[in-house]
Amino acid sequence: MNPDLWLGLLGLLPLLLYVVLVFRNVDILTATAICVVAGALLSHQTLVSFGAALANAMGSFLALVGLIIMLGRGLGEVLNATGVSRVIVYRIIHSIGVDTEKKAMFGIMLSCLVVVGLLGTMAGGNAVIAPIVLPIAAAVGLSRSTVGVIFQAVGEEALILGPFTPPVITLLGLTKISYGEMLLFVSGPVAAITLLVTWCVIQRIQRKTRDINPYEKLDETVHFEPTPRSRRATTVFAFAFLAAVVYGIIVKAPTSFVVVIMLGLSFITGLAGGLKADEILKLVVKGMAGNVNLFLLFLLLDPFILFVEKAGGFTALTTLLKPLMEVGGKSGIVITGGFLGAFGISGATVATLKLLHEMFNPLLTGYAVSMLAWSLALVVATRVHNFVFPGANMLSSLGFAESTDMRSMLRNGWIVASCQLLFLTVFSVFFA
């Protein structure tokens, strides 16, 4: 084997170390910091060049995404303080007229899809809807297992549909496809497959767990009645949000546009909900503070990728994969990327998207791979991983549903993952 190739493979050690640390449940920020130092040593960085790389990372795409995520958390605080999030759930549930198991399932799914898609966080979205929908689930006889599966399966797909969620912002920034193309050919089909499969699976789960894992009569039932002020704030938010989406699509606004939108929606909604300007800013700052760890993660991730690249890691990986790509062609690249992300790389979704894109970028360019097909590979990679391995999203969904039935979560997850991977394989063969 070529000596240069061996040296290049040595440059992949920080990436392999990252995978090992994350799978051993080391905190993702700690794992990234360790790997950045390892990458700096392997790429022969000095303290000065290391500092310069960190300074340059402040203006990177990942740092921008980190800022947007922080602002999104701040907007979520404003929506909660003004009652907008709860009004949205209330309107969905009562417009459906929940009085049967299936209506309750549909209402919870729709609530989760809308709220998580708006807030851009599964934990935050499910935290908002859980106090409202759990009493309803208990009243109609839904099991804890059923609700837990709904929270996770629908929440995962909401994150790839909302126009301002972190995975969507990152995907559009990396691949340069439009939001409309993403919905039509990438996220839309994946979400449709997932929701359809989950709907069928939860019917069986409900039948099997209705009597063995039910909700007891809840001691603390939260009854929410929208006030005129919260209704007004919700109406203003809805119109402003839709206007921002339409305007962004028309002018093909760049990622940086989302920063203005997050701040604008926070102030418009807050003022409509009766908050003062200083109260709105305090809520935004409070929300942003909760995601400082993610901002630091993305800040470190940029030099991490840079150091692996300088050490020759990605070049060596391209050389190793080239024979496989020559056999499989464009489809082989897309399928390999999707499966590698699904079963080989773990961590924050945005980090996984960036790592996969950088690893395969030379092959994507060299083989002129369709960005739609590659976007599908990135989406499927991050969704499948969350469905087949018990992670933060799965565990938090169990917690909000007050369930301990991991078996049902994994059963649905593996069925959904199989369907998603099959769709990726078929799509890549015809459209890569």
Q: What is the pLDDT of residue 418?
A: 94
**Is residue 253 in some structural domain?**
no
- What would the mean pLDDT of 23-48 be, rounded to a whole number? 84
pLDDT band at 16 (very low <50, low <70, confident <90, very high): confident
Interatomic CA distance for residues 124 and 77, integer angstroms: 9
Residues of the domain holding 215: 84-225+312-431
**Is residue 135 in some structural domain?**
yes
Which of the residue ranges 30-39, 150-159, 304-313, 409-418 would you say has the lowest mean pLDDT?
304-313
Cβ–Cβ under 8 Å, residues 432 and 330? yes
**Is residue 300 in some structural domain?**
no
Cβ–Cβ under 8 Å, residues 313 and 11? yes
Is a pLDDT exceeding 70 seen at residue 422?
yes
Cβ–Cβ under 8 Å, residues 377 and 428? yes
**Model pLDDT for residues 92-107, shown as the tens digit of each residue:** 777 777 778 898 899 8
Q: What is the pLDDT of residue 220?
A: 44
Chain Cα centroid distance, residue 404: 23
Q: What is the pLDDT of residue 324?
A: 64
**Model pLDDT for residues 278-325, shown as the tens digit of each residue:** 999 999 999 888 878 878 877 887 888 788 778 777 677 667 666 766
Bin 334: left if φ > 0, else alpha if -120 < ψ < 50, else beta. Answer: alpha
Q: What is the pLDDT of residue 122?
A: 80
pLDDT band at 186 (very low <50, low <70, confident <90, very high): very high
Nearest by Cα to 73 from 261, 298, 288 = 288
- Highest mean pLDDT, choosing among 3-7, 79-83, 305-309: 79-83
Task: Please give the structure tokens belonging to residue 245.
Answer: 């989406």
- Highest mean pLDDT, choosing among 151-165, 302-316, 327-341: 151-165
Q: For 362, list phi and psi in degrees, rounded to 5.
A: -60, -40
Q: Model pTM greater than 0.85?
A: no
Question: How does the average pLDDT of the chain come out, rounded?
Answer: 83
Q: What is the pLDDT of residue 221?
A: 42
**Is residue 39 in some structural domain?**
no
Per-residue CA distances from 341 to 95, 272, 350, 359 (Å): 40, 43, 12, 11
For residues 162 and 218, the model is more confident at 162
- What would the mean pLDDT of 393-398 be, rounded to a whole number? 78
**Is residue 152 in some structural domain?**
yes
For residues 295 and 187, the model is more confident at 187
**Is residue 364 in some structural domain?**
yes
Interatomic CA distance for residues 206 and 200, integer angstroms: 10
What is the count of structural domains for the chain? 1
Burial class (CB in 10 A: 0-12, 13-18, 19+), 258: buried
Is a pLDDT exceeding 60 seen at residue 222?
no
Interatomic CA distance for residues 11 and 137, integer angstroms: 52
Is a pLDDT exceeding 60 seen at residue 380?
yes
Which of the residue ranges 140-149, 387-396, 400-409 would you say has the lowest mean pLDDT?
387-396
pLDDT band at 375 (very low <50, low <70, confident <90, very high): very high
Residue 84, number of CB atoms within 10 A of its CB: 29
Give the chain as a 3 state SS string: CCHHHHHHHHCCHHHHHHHHHHHCCCCHHHHHHHHHHHHHHHCCCCHHHHHHHHHHHCCCHHHHHHHHHHHHHHHHHHHHHCCHHHHHHHHHHHHHCCCCHHHHHHHHHHHHHHHHHHHCCHHHHHHHHHHHHHHHHHHHCCEHHHHHHHHHHHHHHHCCCCCCCHHHHHHHHHHCCCHHHHHHHHHHHHHHHHHHHHHHHHHHHHHHHCCCCECCCCCCCCCCCCCHHHHHHHHHHHHHHHHHHHHHHHHCCCCCHHHHHHHHHHHHHHHHCCCCHHHHHHHHHHHHHCCHHHHHHHHHHHHHHHHHHHCCHHHHHHHHHHHHHHHHHHHHHHHHHHHHHHHHCCCCHHHHHHHHHHHHHHHHHHCCCCHHHHHHHHHHHHHHHHHHCCCHHHHHHHHHCCCCCHHHHHHHHHHHHHHHHHHHHHHHHHHC
Chain Cα centroid distance, residue 429: 26
- How far the first Cα of the chain sits from its last, in Å, is 31
**Is residue 31 in some structural domain?**
no
Q: What is the pLDDT of residue 379?
A: 93
- What would the mean pLDDT of 142-160 be, rounded to a whole number? 92
**Is residue 127 in some structural domain?**
yes
**Model pLDDT for residues 224-275, shown as the tens digit of each residue:** 678 889 889 989 988 988 888 788 778 777 767 878 888 998 999 999 999 9
